[in-house]
Structure 1
Amino acid sequence: MRAFHLSRPWLVLFGLALSVAISNGFGRFSYGLILPAMRESLHWSYTQAGWLNTANAIGYLAGAVATMALIRRVAPGRLFVIGTLGTAVSLALTGVDESLAAQSLCRVGAGVFGALSFICGGTLAASMFTDSPRRNALAIALYFGGGGGLGLALCGAVLPVMLDVMGPQSWDTAWFLVGFAALAFVPMTIWAAGQIRPPATEDAPRSRPPMRRMLGQMISYGFFGLGYIVYPTFLSAWMVSHQISTALIAATWVALGVSVMASPFLWRGVLARFTSGLPMAVILVAVAAGSALPVLLPNTVGLLLSALVFGLSFFMPPSAITSFVRQNLPQPDWGAAISACTVVFAMSQILGPIGAGWIGDHTGQIGDGLLVASAMLLAGAACAVMQRPLGAR
């Protein structure tokens, strides 16, 4: 495979990363910040609140399946643009109708289009710097972590203060603000996708990705999907239930976003060095610790430490999967393998929010859901340890 060259590769990577700010920072995790206001204004239970992120995960699963079917017939750049624009529009529409049916439809739409954008953007990022393993690993990690962290930090800095000043009934304004911010990022992402023209692979030999030999990595990714989503979905609700101040809520989410942006520099060496499941295992242990810390240490230090540990790790499992696939499989199989892993992730992600909401409703403490999620993440780490490089016998 011949490397292709870009005149402004880091600017292109920044444009790609903005799509993760849209699909994940805005599309998935801003909901956790708006959720307390929606619960109070619309009188939802924890289960109903969890359902909306489950609806988003159902859409994400559908989008991952669609991507797996389309990735070898439609250019990844084209799917990426469709997904990014569709996600932004879905977010802007979320504030239009308060009914649970309309909210569910918007969350499903954000999931479907977000999966197209997220997976295809990862494929494009993996095509950069193929002649330098360390820069390639950094590009993959920056794609996932840089954009997602930016989206989290922006939402954390603005939404809690806005909702506190304007009141919980302004949840619809919050969604309009998120949607318009996403639309403002779209032109840069479209430009970046147009700059990447990796070598044609239509005539390259294709084989079915060796999924059985990837089971350790795939199952661990499934446990990640089951456990991680509980923290960003219910962290703000947990803080509100414990009378945490608006300033500390905002500071915690900004710290979370800044930590996510720093995470690629922490993990790039590990991702470049190891071709096994070890990076995923270590990352999941860190995510588990961050998930449990608010409950185990329910004070200012515990919350900020939780944001730091969780933020430095929870955007890295997609990087670990992408890096593992890039190091162990030929390029024509990257898109299909990443899509297959994402399907497993998306299926498990469906259960996390509604399951944690059910636990919170039945125990009266949403923190119990955070502890169960931490246990699931540790189970995923145990599975990842067993994943060997695909070249090993």
Structure 2
Amino acid sequence: MVRVLIGGVLALAIAMGVGRFAFTPILPAMQAATGLGTDAAGLLASLNYLGYFLGALGAGLVPHGTVRTAVFRTALIASVTSTAGMGFTEDMAAWAVLRFVSGLASAGMFILGIAMTLDALARAGRESWTGWLYTGVGIGIASSGLFVALMGDRLGWRGDWLWLGLACLGFGTLSWLWVTDPPRAAAHTAAGTAGGGSPQPSAPLVLLTLAYFLEGAGYIVTGTFLVAILKTMPETAQLGAAAWMVTGLAAMPSGIVWAAAGRKLGLWRALILAHVVQAVGILLPITGSPAAAVVSAALFGGTFIGIVTLSFTLGRQLSGGASARVIGALTAVYGLGQIVGPVPAGLVVARTGSFDSALVGATAVVLVSAALLAAGAWMAGRSGPATVALDARRG
């Protein structure tokens, strides 16, 4: 089981930490060398998230067994190839295709990798290990940030993409070997015990879904532009890559920490608190303070994976046991929000020459998400004290 967990962690590190988010620390060097504008960078980010959205929809249709293993491995190959491929060209159209493919691959690896790893842990009675799986995203972010910080000046942006792709190829071999699905009959039995029916619609579940969409649209502004934001200010220009490493390091324990908060405070309260903390982190770079920039990176990294973890857990509870369906739906709306966020932010920056308005807008969106969660918590509380107590215990 340890090998399966390691394979799952590495899959998330490759899919999310590198395939999706390595763009963030490499972006300033790409802009300096090629003249890539912030509006065009926002478009590339949104195409990546469009791919992720479509991949999330498709991943939910993949059947258990050997087909799921094959699709996961195909996504792994596509992720490695699209990462390395960024270093072979300066053509905007080629970059657009590569970032779109990377998004598709990230969704396939993320959703199927999580599903197969969690199924394997459940079969072995190791559900308590689940929180460790999400550390892979933080490991990938921290590792890619460290690599760019140490080697970026020597290798250039092309070398960054090429060597990260090569590293993903090496570590991805372990995921290829260790993350697999059993034959369809066994997988179907395991899935049946986990609950895979249709989600039961309710007002709290709808509000959670809307809030998750807004979270995707708000957090991704920082997720895309954090390093570029810091590079534009003289006081924080030297902190860009280091701040992204802080983001990754803070993200590593985020899922475990916020899951514990959910058990102590209740899932609704913990989720609202995580949104408020994240909103503060998004806004801090406006101050121009180096200390605030580091705190911003830590707060951002320390919340976004925790929000995913808490939202999935709460969604499973509100869905009446339809865990697979509700996680797929939440992932899709989150991906849709990420498509929406970067383009207007990039256009605002291109027009004003400053990230301040984009950060204020992203902060407002995340706070509106928190308000929707507060409404959902109130509605859930009206359904009876027993439901609230169950939520607090099972978080």
Within the candidate set 352, 358, 362, 1:363 is matched to 352
Residue 83 of structure 1, CA deviation: 2.3
- CA 65–274 in structure 1, closer or farther in 2 if over 3 Å, else same: farther
CA distance in 1, matches of 2:201, 2:114: 19
Residue 327 of structure 1, CA deviation: 3.8
- 1:68-107 aligned at under 5 Å gives the runs 68-71=60-63, 76-107=68-99
Structure 1 contact 25–148 (Cα < 8 Å) conserved: yes
Within the candidate set 202, 212, 218, 1:227 is matched to 218
- CA 286–95 in structure 1, closer or farther in 2 if over 3 Å, else same: same
Q: Size of the alignment, in residue pairs?
A: 377
- 1:14-25 aligned at under 5 Å gives the runs 14-25=6-17
Question: Residue 62 of structure 1 corresponds to which residue in structure 2?
Answer: 54
The question of 1:180 aligning with 2:166 is answered yes
Question: Residue 279 of structure 2 corresponds to which residue in structure 1?
Answer: 288
Question: Residue 295 of structure 2 corresponds to which residue in structure 1?
Answer: 305
- CA 380–77 in structure 1, closer or farther in 2 if over 3 Å, else same: farther
- 1:67-105 Cα distance to aligned partner (Å, 9 max, x none): 123356975444433323321221111212211110000
TM-score (norm. length: structure 1):
0.86
CA distance in 2, matches of 1:126, 1:162: 35
Within the candidate set 100, 110, 119, 1:108 is matched to 100
Question: Residue 255 of structure 1 corresponds to which residue in structure 2?
Answer: 246
Question: Residue 372 of structure 1 corresponds to which residue in structure 2?
Answer: 361
CA distance in 2, matches of 1:194, 1:73: 8
Structure 1 contact 59–109 (Cα < 8 Å) conserved: yes
The question of 1:33 aligning with 2:25 is answered yes
> What runs of 5+ residues in structure 2 fail to find an aligned partner?
385-395
Structure 1 contact 128–139 (Cα < 8 Å) conserved: no
Question: Residue 349 of structure 1 corresponds to which residue in structure 2?
Answer: 338
Structure with higher helix content: 2
- CA 203–219 in structure 1, closer or farther in 2 if over 3 Å, else same: closer
Residue 370 of structure 1, CA deviation: 1.7
CA distance in 2, matches of 1:123, 1:277: 24
Q: Give the ranges of 4+ consecutive aligned residues of structure 1 lying more than 4 Å apart after TM superposition.
A: 71-78, 128-133, 195-199, 201-206, 244-247, 272-276, 328-331, 388-393
Structure 1 contact 56–107 (Cα < 8 Å) conserved: yes
- 1:158-182 Cα distance to aligned partner (Å, 9 max, x none): 213433345xxx3221111121111
- 1:139-150 aligned at under 5 Å gives the runs 139-144=129-134, 146-150=135-139
- Report the residue type matching 1:280 in the other structure: L
> For structure 1, which segment, 240-249 or 70-79, has the greater mean C-alpha deviation from structure 2 after superposition?
70-79
- 1:105-128 Cα distance to aligned partner (Å, 9 max, x none): 000001011111111223234446
Question: Residue 43 of structure 1 corresponds to which residue in structure 2?
Answer: 35
- Report the residue type matching 2:58 in the other structure: A
Determine what percentage of the aligned residue pairs are the same residue.
26
- CA 317–121 in structure 1, closer or farther in 2 if over 3 Å, else same: farther
SS for the counterpart of 2:376 is: coil
Q: CA RMSD in A?
A: 2.9
> For structure 1, which segment, 303-312 or 259-268, has the greater mean C-alpha deviation from structure 2 after superposition?
259-268
Within the candidate set 316, 335, 354, 2:324 is matched to 335
- CA 88–272 in structure 1, closer or farther in 2 if over 3 Å, else same: farther
- CA 111–46 in structure 1, closer or farther in 2 if over 3 Å, else same: same
Within the candidate set 234, 240, 245, 1:243 is matched to 234
CA distance in 2, matches of 1:323, 1:377: 19
